[in-house]
Structure 1
Amino acid sequence: MKFNKLNIHGSRGFPLRNTLFSPGSGKKGLALLFPGAGYTCDMPALYYSRSILLSQKYDVLSLEYSFQNQGEMFDPDRIQEVLEDGEKVMDSIEKLGYSEFILVGKSLGTRVLTHLLSQRKLLDRAKAVYLTPVFSRVFNDATAGVKQEVFMVIGTKDPFYSPELIQDLKSQKDFQLLVLEGTDHGLEIPGDCIGSILRMKTLCLEMVKFFNK
């Protein structure tokens, strides 16, 4: 395992904290992990996503946003700043020579995924995993235009879980869906450690299938 840092300046002009993990020789491409507002790349769903991707021989770039670098809470009125952070990340990695990409986003990160997948030609053949997407009419309208293969994961106890909105998006775009019974916005079952671990195992197995199909 190798570790590196990329020189990425975010929307505010400050360096974005990041770590580039590499499994070594024989790598397939690059995976990008976009965290949630309060869900870092070291928390379970993204930690295990990274572990799986490394086992699949992808380099993996774990990131933070500008507001997280500054120790601030997310302000929804500054969403454009977060999307610009995503653009800055892409500007930096376009120079690195990768041709195969997987994007994984958690909650807020799913909005970054939709933005980048819709805008960046380099990502035309990418695959994307949306963990606990923020389903809404606005999100659906934007994500319906994404042409890449998408795998979405959400729990039945997540406040953004809406069978109606999921069906609405399904009517506009084909995507793979995993609904985890009883899990919340952190993809855990409150008060049930073993149940949470079993749900995470299910998520990991389905991700491996998605990456390899």
Structure 2
Amino acid sequence: MSKKLAIFFPGIGYHNDKPLLYYSRKLAAEAGFQCVRVDYNGFASEIKGNADKMREALETAYSQTELILSDIDWKSYENIIFISKSIGTVVAARYAKEYDITCRNIYMTPLAETFLFEPCNGIAFHGTADSWADTKIIKDKCIEYDIKLSIIPDADHSLETADTMKNIAIINKVMDEIKKYL
């Protein structure tokens, strides 16, 4: 059996125990992946819409990620997957590029900044009511980088709507796609 590793990169307010990352981690573990959680802290408030605070948050998350992942022997793994959410998609794409890590990716609600690091080999999920990322930009960038994009109509940055039962159906659909990708 090949040695498999899944790294989880959360968002700022969307931590590793929220549904998208929690269930993704359970699926990865069921598929035989060793799971490593990256957790961040120390962010400023009111980041949304403030370019300086966003840059600062990205640097904070990235430096914490480097520290958390510093002891991993990447070459000992045959199958690596980065599963990321929001700001975590930027951190994951940057980390893979800067450390030259060959991995597959699951980008949940990627930000436009994610594409500054030429993300590759992955799938993405985006809601059309996501106030953190423009749907047209995300669609165009996913096409440019050959990332399979699943669009969830009327879903916000957490891939949720105002309808709880619809949200359960959304999480089921997303997890089904993730399970197939794993």
For normalisation by structure 2, the TM-score amounts to 0.85
Which shows bigger deviation, 104-113 or 76-85? 76-85
1:205 positional shift: 0.7
Q: Secondary structure at the match of 1:45?
A: helix
Matched, 1:127 2:104: yes
* Pairing of 1:82-93 with structure 2 (within 5 A): 82-93=61-72
Give yes or no for contact 1:32–1:102 (8 Å, CA) kept in 2.
Answer: yes
Q: Which 4+ runs in 1 deviate beyond 6 A?
A: none
Unpaired runs of 5+ residues, structure 1, are 1-25
1:165 to 137, 147, 157: 137
Matched, 1:153 2:125: yes
1:168 positional shift: 2.8
1:96 positional shift: 8.9
Q: Which residue is 1:179 aligned to?
A: 151
Q: Which residue is 1:102 aligned to?
A: 81
Q: Secondary structure at the match of 1:169?
A: helix
**Number of aligned residues:** 175
Change (3 A) 1:139 1:34: closer
Instruction: Give 1 or 2 for the bigger CA radius of gyration.
Output: 1
Q: Give the Cα separation in 2 of the matches to 1:171 and 1:205.
A: 22
Give yes or no for contact 2:128–2:135 (8 Å, CA) kept in 1.
Answer: no
Q: Secondary structure at the match of 1:67?
A: coil
For normalisation by structure 1, the TM-score amounts to 0.74
Change (3 A) 1:163 1:66: closer
Q: Which residue is 1:205 aligned to?
A: 176
Change (3 A) 1:109 1:139: closer
Unpaired runs of 5+ residues, structure 2, are 48-52
Give the share of equivalent positions with the same residue, in percent: 25
Q: Secondary structure at the match of 1:42?
A: coil
Q: Which residue is 2:166 aligned to?
A: 195
1:169 positional shift: 1.0
Which shows bigger deviation, 104-113 or 81-90? 81-90
Q: Which residue is 1:12 aligned to?
A: none
Give yes or no for contact 1:54–1:60 (8 Å, CA) kept in 2.
Answer: yes
Give yes or no for contact 1:27–1:58 (8 Å, CA) kept in 2.
Answer: no
Q: Which residue is 1:76 aligned to?
A: 54
1:101 positional shift: 1.0
Structure of higher RCO (CA pairs closer than 8 Å, 6+ residues apart): 2
